[in-house]
Amino acid sequence: MRKATLVWFIFLSLLVVAPQRAAAAQKLLSFATARLGGSWAGIGAGLAKLLTEKIPGISIKAESTGGGVANNKLVHSGQSDIGLTVERLTLLARIGKGPFKKKKFTKNRMLLSGIQVGVLQIATLEGSGIKTLGDLKGKRVSAGPARGGGNPALKFSLLVHGITYKDFKVSYLNYAQGKNALIDGNLDAALTYAAIPVPALKELQAGRKKWRLVGIKPEKVVQIAKRFKGYFRVTVPAKAYGLAQDTITIGARNGLIVNADLDNKLVYQIIKTIDQNLDTVKKIHPSLKKMNRKIWAKSSVPVPYHPGAIRYYKEVGLLK
């Protein structure tokens, strides 16, 4: 009887301990994305789910963050292992310029370049009198999250117009909040910086208010591109949001970064898994449909790649 009881006790103990050991063996990773209202939250969640399902022994959690600026700080510090980024911001973080001027963030490594194009898209209601960036003077403007990628993009763009944040009333709302404030009449213009289409702007399209995007004059776009490496001209098609006309603005490549200390084999597995499941990845968000793997190993800015990514790119011929 005692023997049977002992065997039963050991069996129950194994049932309890085995799952604990399995959980302990699971490597937990943090994926820095952005707040709801843009495309990054959904993209990060989709990639985290795919990688967790396909790579044994890891579990990746998509984290809501302030966006591009915040992600570079989080990945550098090791608080996040992977992050979405505006590639130009990763360069600025590395050299300690722009929104990173108080410190250099040198532990970020490129994983993948050109996952999508982030686009500066500023919404305003019809009748606001705002048609181009030069018309923002004296207005109430949301510059997006303070640590997001849109805030520096707007600042850089305003500089070629001779305008600073001192020339209008600025607030820092996430994209959903900005959209709501615009509808409620508490804002004159609301910034989003994300791939087309932006969820918050699609919601605006579905509403009753008539609105449009604030454009940038072509000659100003040329000046921005010359002065601030990484930005280029983007045309937002009218059909993207059911608007009356196309809008000229700026955009920049977005990419994926990882912490320099992340295990080489794991980074290799991550990029390999993304590549081998590209059809699934492209279904995560409409902006990923045009992703071109030929530029993954060709960052738009001089930021080093992680050795694990380099190994994979060389194996598949994307890097010599």
The count of C-alpha atoms lying within 13 angstroms of the C-alpha of 280, restricted to the half-sphere facing its C-beta, is: 13
Chain centroid, CA 188 distance in Å: 25
The pLDDT value recorded for residue 22 is 45
Is CATH 3.40.190.10 what the domain over 118-251 is classified as, yes or no?
yes
What is the architecture, at CATH level 2, of domain 26-116+253-315? Answer: 3-Layer(aba) Sandwich (3.40)
Length of the chain: 320
Q: State pTM to two decimals.
A: 0.84
CA 112, CA 299: separation in Å to the nearest integer? 8
CA 81, CA 77: separation in Å to the nearest integer? 9
Q: 3-class DSSP state for residue 86?
A: strand
Report which DSSP code applies to 306: P
The residue to which tokens 């918050």 are assigned? 200
**Comparing C-alpha atoms, which of 210, 209, 230, 227 is closest to residue 219?**
227
The pLDDT value recorded for residue 113 is 98
CA 57, CA 265: separation in Å to the nearest integer? 13
Same fold? 26-116+253-315, 118-251: yes
Q: Domain segments of the chain: what residues? A: 26-116+253-315, 118-251
For the chain, 320 residues long, give each residue's pLDDT as a single digit of tens: 555 554 454 544 555 544 454 445 689 999 999 988 788 999 999 999 999 999 999 999 999 999 999 999 999 999 999 999 999 999 999 999 999 988 999 999 999 999 999 999 999 999 999 999 999 999 999 999 988 889 999 999 999 999 999 999 999 999 999 999 999 999 999 999 999 999 999 999 999 999 999 999 999 999 999 999 889 999 999 999 999 999 999 999 999 999 999 999 999 999 999 999 999 999 999 999 999 999 999 999 999 999 999 999 999 999 99
> 47, 266 in Cβ contact below 8 A?
no
Q: Which helix (H) or strand (E) holds 22?
A: helix 2-25
